[in-house]
Structure 1
Amino acid sequence: MTQTAIHRVTTLDLPVQPRPWSFAVERRAGIDAHFAVKQGERPIWNGRVLLARDPVFAAEHFSASYFEADFASMLAWRDWGFPDQEVFNGFGMGALRGSDGAFVLGEMGQHTSNAGRIYFPSGTPDLDDIRDGAVDIAGSVEREVEEETGLTSKDYRAGAHWDCVVSGVSIAMIRILASDLTGAALRAGIEANLARQQQPELSAIHLVRDIGDLTTAMPRFVTAFLEKQFAR
């Protein structure tokens, strides 16, 4: 998975199938040392996350096999240049879009592991996202949107399809969440919600109305998605 590609699908089949991760086992000492350094830089904790293997796109269907790992191993895997190319980070994103066509993105706070990056509400799936033995990406997106912005499923209409953006060892499953509010009104509401939090995950809200609003702080899977949207 080295080139950026976008696959539009309507169904996701993402079973959780426990399987050892040789990278996490064989490099345990180095991973723990690396995480200790990162904890000294910002307050992060070593929770459990879900990573994936064996991605398959067939017609309008996407399937993959997920397994449980610790955040420390995922962080080292990322920071060390993704030494295990058989594993990927497959996560959902909620592309909030105002009634005027503006997309709403958040900038990660300096206390987070992705400080300064700008993207849609999202998060690597964790154990709370497992439903009936599979990863519930739709539920994960709904949870992340509410945690980051304060918006609930009553505040938008979720699209019927997913744009799966393959970029390196990431697959972002992006669904448009259409609001009846303008982009500016959405931003104002989200900023008011952030102001009520002691340590919000987001430090700023950005509106993207056209390609000229894209920045290098946005990951490639985000800019590729937006470029396709604005090209329509």
Structure 2
Amino acid sequence: MNFDLPRNVILPVDAVDVRLDPSLHPFERDNQAAIAENWRREMEAKPALYDGTVVLLSALAYRDSRLVGRCHAVKYSTFMLWRKNRELSGAEHAYAHAVLVAGDNALVAIRMGSHTVNAGRVYFAAGSFEPIDFRDGLVDVDFNMIREVSEETGIDLSAARSGRRYYALSTASGTVIFRRYRVAEPADEIARRIGAFIASEAEPEIEGPVIIRDADDLPDGLMGHMKPLIEWHFSGSDEDV
């Protein structure tokens, strides 16, 4: 199977069957010395980095509106080296986005803090899948989305209206799995709440909220995968909630 899915097109996804393999990812197994040396340099540049645990794919395919794949828990330091060696690595990255839609139909994204790897970049509040996001070995995409949004913004999406299905966009840099989450408050109120949450945090992960009001409202620092998601939302062609 390895990696067999259309690239650079938004795909409807009815189910995500990505399972956690307990074995070492071959990329981590075969690159221990390089991982350690790269991590030393990364820590010199950004001492606040933490070598936690994330997951990295060894296979992903799109079959009958389903994403089917296999992933392995790896050190964050492994992920950081992989980012510089994506081609021919035998590994890919998948992550999830809760597309936060305000009551006035604006989107609310975030700008990452200066101490993070993606400093200044804009995307929907998100983080890599971690072992905690798996249930009996199967990834729980919504748990990851709700957890990450809460941790970064203080917004609880557990009672929000979610879209009836997922979507996915796979590019050379990774595969984003996304779903709309609608809340009643207008975007300005959501941004105010996020700002208050950031002010209460000793070490906030994000710099602040970013409101996107239409398909042409593209902020500086926008991550490359975000433009197609923004255009998809405002086109209204796939309204699902």
TM category (shorter chain) comes to over 0.9
Q: Secondary structure at the match of 1:51?
A: strand
Whether 1:77 and 2:102 are equivalent positions in the alignment is no
Matched, 1:107 2:133: no
Instruction: Select the residue among 53, 57, 72 that pairs with 1:67.
Output: 72
**Equivalent pair of 1:100/1:183 in contact (CA under 8 Å):** yes
Task: Please give the alpha-carbon distance, in whole angstroms, between the structure 2 residues aligned to 1:222 and 1:12.
Answer: 21
Select 1:159's aligned residue among 149, 160, 163: 163
Q: Check the 8 A contact 1:159/1:175 in 2, yes or no.
A: yes
Distance in 2 separating the partners of 1:16 and 1:3? 23
Gapped regions of structure 1 (runs ≥ 5)? none
RMSD of aligned residue pairs (Cα, Å):
1.7
Q: Identify the residue that residue 228 of structure 1 maps to in structure 2.
A: 232
Contact 1:4 1:221 (8 Å CA) reproduced:
no
User: Map of 1:76-95 to 2, 5 A cutoff?
Assistant: 76-78=81-83, 80-95=84-99
What letter matches 1:57 in structure 2? Y
Matches within 5 A, 1:49-198: 49-78=54-83, 80-154=84-158, 156-198=160-202
Cα displacement string for residues 84-143 of structure 1 (whole angstroms, at most 9, x for unaligned residues) = 453211111111110111000000001111111110011111111121111211111110
Q: 1:87, 1:169 within 8 Å by CA — same for their partners in 2?
A: no
Match of 2:203 among 199, 205, 218: 199
TM-score (norm 1): 0.93
Whichever residue aligns with residue 72 of structure 1, its letter is S
Of residues 24, 45, 51 in structure 2, which corresponds to 1:46? 51
Q: Is the contact between residue 117 and residue 219 of structure 1 (CA under 8 Å) also seen in structure 2?
A: yes
In 1: Cα distance, 2:31 partner to 2:56 partner: 17
User: Deviation of residue 52 (structure 1)?
Assistant: 1.2
| Deviations 1:177-196 (CA, angstroms, capped at 9, x unpaired) | 10100111111111111111
Aligned length: 231
Unaligned runs of 5+ in 2: 237-241
TM superposition shift of 1:53: 2.8
Which structure has more helix as a fraction of its residues? Answer: 1
Equivalent-residue separation in structure 2 for 1:215 and 1:130 (angstroms): 33
SS of the counterpart of 2:35? helix
Task: Give the one of 210, 215, 221 matched to 2:214.
Answer: 210
Q: Distance in 1 between matches of 2:8 and 2:160?
A: 28
Of 17, 23, 27, which residue of structure 1 is paired with 2:27?
Answer: 23
* Runs of 4+ with >3 A deviation: 83-86
Q: Tell me, what secondary structure is at the counterpart of 2:115?
A: coil
